[in-house]
A and B are shown apart, each in its own frame.
Chain A
């Protein structure tokens, strides 16, 4: 039990502290050996993140394999088919990508035909969700919501060249809103978020915040 606790908690906490202090010091102290060591650590981290992507792929295969098994046993054939299509696509992409390379014509055709079109479509759907939320939610229920609506309407108009071409005053109003209100209120929130982030870092380095190791035991 204690050796398990040592490697599951104490070693990661010690590593976190050492690496955190070294990388923080590199920001302030200009010393070549420290900079070289920090660059090496950062390069390690880049490699680890790349491996994590493979881990996610394995998770996906495991999850959908179990789903196919479960759905087949419950006679939910359509759901099983969807998971099977996902796994088939994953296999095709891996075979083409690894076997032929990312610069092959086949891979580029697959990417441009499927991935690019579907990604752009999914991203464009944001407009419809936003439009739906705007229509459903923005009502003048109170003074605050009235101001929210007014600013939102001015911002929409000022970002539409159709309006700003004929009513240039909208651009001026938007600049005033952006530079006079939004910029400074966002700076204030950014200061707060930044300070909160620094203190979260302090808590992490001092082993008070152990959320990244799993929930704190009671």
Chain B
């Protein structure tokens, strides 16, 4: 019962903030600001931009990591527009078949908005190769030699291999994932990072629409509530009264 009430409360607060049209400020995310710079670097060097993070195998847009893939697709659309504007090649490595049509639509829209749809139609197979496992990805990196490598989305054990392979060819890398066990690898290897739920702020950061910003603010309010509950639970457990909080959560 408590989880249902929490979910309804979350919806209510989100809707209130979204439709209240309040001015909401979110802090800078240096990693996202760096994207334009890295694409510019790729344009100067005449090398492509590589994007990854669109799921893996059966973990596609239908799976529990769909929010991360949607965030990755937002980044892809944003990066694709910048690349189309600069005339830089962008390649998005697809690992999950369910994401291919969605990524196709994202890239097509980005190129159409920049007035370069014909360019996309002529080269779209090259822009979205299907690379289901890490060996394919590493060989794609070695063949393409990207100048910028955007690793925002969902990653598995291939994260180390692809990040290190791109590092070896001299690419600047922006990493970000909500999959916790890959965060340390990106933190060690990539030049800029987004940690955990920062990748969900990408859509809001790029579009700056009030609704998106309000949903980010809602997340923060609920994190604050979680923080208060954690402190309360710690204090109650210290005095030996954690049973009452357990009973509340099991209700």
Given contacts A28-B3, A196-B219, are A133 and B160 in contact (CB under 8 A)? yes
Most B Cβ at <10 Å: residue of A138, A199, A208, A216: A199
Cβ contacts under 8 Å, A214 to chain B: 102, 104-106, 108-109
Main secondary structure of the interface of B (DSSP, over half): helix
Cβ contacts under 8 Å, B209 to chain A: 208
Q: Does A181 contact B (CB under 8 A)?
A: no
Asked whether, in the complex, the Cβ of A129 is within 8 Å of the Cβ of B219, the reply is no
For the complex, count residues of A whose C-beta is within 8 A of B. Answer: 55
Please list the residues of chain A having a beta carbon within 8 angstroms of any beta carbon in chain B: 24, 28, 45, 48-49, 52-53, 55-56, 59-60, 62-63, 66, 118-119, 122-123, 125-126, 129-130, 132-133, 136-138, 148, 186, 189-193, 195-204, 206, 208-209, 211-218
| A–B pairs, 21, beta carbons within 8 Å | A49-B62, A52-B97, A59-B130, A63-B125, A118-B135, A122-B134, A126-B158, A126-B160, A133-B163, A189-B195, A193-B178, A196-B219, A198-B7, A199-B215, A199-B219, A200-B70, A202-B11, A206-B18, A211-B203, A214-B105, A215-B74
The distance from the CB of A99 to the nearest CB of chain B, in whole angstroms, is: 23
State A218–B163 Cα separation when bound (angstroms). Answer: 33
Asked whether, in the complex, the Cβ of A197 is within 8 Å of the Cβ of B100, the reply is no
Please list the residues of chain B having a beta carbon within 8 angstroms of any beta carbon in chain A: 3-4, 7, 10-11, 14-15, 18, 58, 60-62, 66-67, 70-71, 73-74, 77, 97-98, 100, 102, 104-106, 108-110, 113, 125, 129-130, 132-135, 138, 157-158, 160-161, 163-165, 167, 178, 180, 183, 185, 188-189, 195-197, 199-201, 203, 207, 209, 211-212, 215-216, 218-219, 222-223, 226
Asked whether, in the complex, the Cβ of A129 is within 8 Å of the Cβ of B165, the reply is yes
Asked whether, in the complex, the Cβ of A197 is within 8 Å of the Cβ of B60, the reply is no
Cβ contacts under 8 Å, A48 to chain B: 62
Which of A56, A191, A211, A217 sits near B74, CB closer than 8 Å? A211
